[in-house]
Amino acid sequence: MADILHIDMNAFFASVEEVLHPEITDKPVIIGSTSKRGVVSTANYKARGYGVNAAMPMYKALQLCPHAIVFDVNFPAYEKFHHDFMTVVREFSDKVEVASIDECFVNIDNLTTTFSPKIIATRIQRRIKERTGLGCSIGIGHNKFMAKMGSDYRKPMGITQMYETDLINKLWPLDIGQMYMVGKSTATLLRRHDINVIGDLVHISRVKLCKILGKVGLRLYENARGLGDEEVIAEVALPKSISLGETFLNNTDDPELIVEKINDFSKQISKRLNVYNLEAKLIQLSVKFPDFKIKNKSQKIDHFFTDCETIIFYAKTMFEKYFFQQEIRALTIHVGHLQKRNENRTIFS
């Protein structure tokens, strides 16, 4: 049986801003767009205490917490801090699976012959804090599900063990909506069948649960019992695409504004490609119109690229050819057909 950690950076985007701006420590912080259509990306725990949540309209968040400090999303900074905390984690184990920009799974079997899992988790948490200034919560379990539930159990800066012996006291009393892989609609459906806490899943047959939820039912049936032996996958699957876009404050047909956004998005996408050591071969421009209809135009390039100039050239060309002088509501640039960059390739290849 493996010993697995799930490391979840606490309020990651907002915490990065607190490290970069020490003067805002202990103040409510919200990350997101302040435009009239803007939404909250995340908020620190101080702001959450006022009822602010991710995906909430920004105007509503500021009604709940009018004195909050608001920052736009700053992906280059978050990607740097992601790299910094992952560097720390990999000093303890090479079996690391990146789950997202702010979380990862770690197999620590290489260390548990010498130290207990809790001591290892404590040292990782302390070192991340010392090196980056960021806090994290860590779950310890015998599989990935239990480790994930452990990291969610106590925030911020929690360390929670979630083994088979912890099912009755820690896992089963939790509300069904707190279970990993259970969203709002699934939780509502389960409550209709009198499944209100995770422990209720233990008293329902596999057949009935699969009738209610299909294949997901089988997964929940096993997870509720602490079953599962998923391995930590050290090599992360490549993303299918990288994209960046914006919904404008007002519908616009201003070519100067749109080209300015194309330039900005292209530069940021290029930075992300380089941070993750990726290269792309497809560029797509997505436009949303005032009636909410969306049109996509794409261009496959005959070579792989990472530079912003290539993205700007083709995105601008597609805009001028297909959408010039049309009023639009939102604009997004995607790059796709990604692969790991070939370090041996040169401009002469």
Q: Look at the alpha carbons of 109, 112, 116, 120 in this order and tell me if their dihedral is positive or negative.
A: negative
Preceding peptide of 156 cis, ω within 30° = yes
Q: Strand pairing of 159-162 and 294-305?
A: unpaired
- Please enumerate in sequence order all residues whose Cβ is within 8 A of that of 118, keeping only pairs 6 or more positions apart, or say none: 140, 159, 161
Residue found by looking up tokens 């209809």 in the block: 293
- Chain centroid to CA 61: 21
Please tell me the distance from the alpha carbon of residue 31 to that of residue 40, in angstroms, as a whole number.
6
Is the distance from CB of 191 to CB of 176 less than 8 angstroms? yes
CA distances from 97 to 6, 7, 80, 222, 301 (A): 10, 10, 18, 22, 31
Tokens of 61: 């968040």
Known catalytic residue at 230: no
Q: Outline where the chain has alpha helix (H).
A: 12-20, 45-48, 58-64, 75-90, 117-132, 144-153, 184-192, 206-213, 215-224, 255-275, 308-318
CB atoms within 10 A of CB 156: 14
Please tell me the distance from the alpha carbon of residue 316 to that of residue 218, in angstroms, as a whole number.
48
Of 79, 103, 130, 235, which is the active-site residue?
103
- Please enumerate in sequence order all residues whose Cβ is within 8 A of that of 319, keeping only pairs 6 or more positions apart, or say none: 258, 259, 262, 285
Tokens of 68: 């909050």
- Please enumerate in sequence order all residues whose Cβ is within 8 A of that of 16, keeping only pairs 6 or more positions apart, or say none: 74, 77, 78, 81, 134
Among all residues, which ones are annotated catalytic? 103
